[in-house]
Copies of this chain bind each other. A is one copy, B any other.
Amino acid sequence: MTRQRLGAEDWLRAGLQALARSGPSALRAEALARDLGTTKGSFYWHFKDLPHYLDRLIQFWEERAFEGVVARLDADLPPRGRLEQLCLLAVGLRDPDYGGAALEPALRAWALSDTNVAEAVARMDARRVAYLGDLCRAAGIDTSTAPAMLYALYVGLETLDRDDAEGVMCAALLRI
């Protein structure tokens, strides 16, 4: 049973889930209200209007999508170990509370029609590739293509949502 009274964060979580489930067109006040079993009266209490909500939603994602994975890494692992752990965590981890595996593909789709989203996604990509670059450098791996390759592979595996994603990532890591 869900809580009776909702907070802004409930609406944001519901937004990410709806985005992952049905794409950007699901981000509408009345549809989200149906998902949450309430009415848009609550929505417009917590958020000024739809654009403000969407801004908060991107921000909500951006605050979690990087730290959420990196925070799980073992700090006492050597660089190469952390790199491998990161890659396998990324393709394996799926938090259904925040949309699961389909979230980021949907976000990238949303980015096509919203400049703010496009900028947030670009920032996130740059941040992640830079972090992969740091790990590769520390592990003595050539950084000319490896970070971009690992990240593209991650994005592709996430998009395709294949069952053998971990196996494929593993095979790639063995060849680097």
Q: Does A154 contact B (CB under 8 A)?
A: yes
- Whether the Cβ atoms of B162 and A148 lie closer than 8 Å is yes
* Known contacts A145-B167, A153-B152, A155-B159, A112 near B108 by CB under 8 Å: no
Q: Which of B112, B125, B175 is close to A21, meaning CB atoms less than 8 Å apart?
A: B112
Q: Which of A17-50 contact B (CB under 8 A)?
A: 20-26
Complex Cα spacing A149 to B168, Å = 6
- Whether the Cβ atoms of B171 and A149 lie closer than 8 Å is yes
Size class of the contact patch on chain A = 35 or more
List the B residue with the shortest CB-CB distance to A167: B145
User: What does DSSP make chain A's interface, helix, strand, loop or mixed?
Assistant: helix
Give the shortest distance, in Å, between A102 (CB) and chain B (any CB). Answer: 7
Give the shortest distance, in Å, between A109 (CB) and chain B (any CB). Answer: 2
Complex Cα spacing A82 to B21, Å = 38
Q: Does A156 contact B (CB under 8 A)?
A: yes
- Whether the Cβ atoms of B113 and A25 lie closer than 8 Å is yes
Chain B residues near A151: list those with CB within 8 A.
Answer: 156, 160
List the B residue with the shortest CB-CB distance to A175: B175
Chain B residues near A145: list those with CB within 8 A.
Answer: 164, 167-168, 171-172
Given A24-B109, A25-B25, A153-B156, 9 other A-B contacts at CB below 8 A? Answer: A23-B24, A23-B109, A102-B112, A145-B164, A148-B168, A151-B156, A156-B157, A159-B159, A172-B172
11 CB < 8 A contacts A-B:
A23-B110, A24-B25, A105-B105, A108-B109, A125-B160, A145-B167, A152-B156, A152-B160, A154-B156, A155-B155, A155-B156
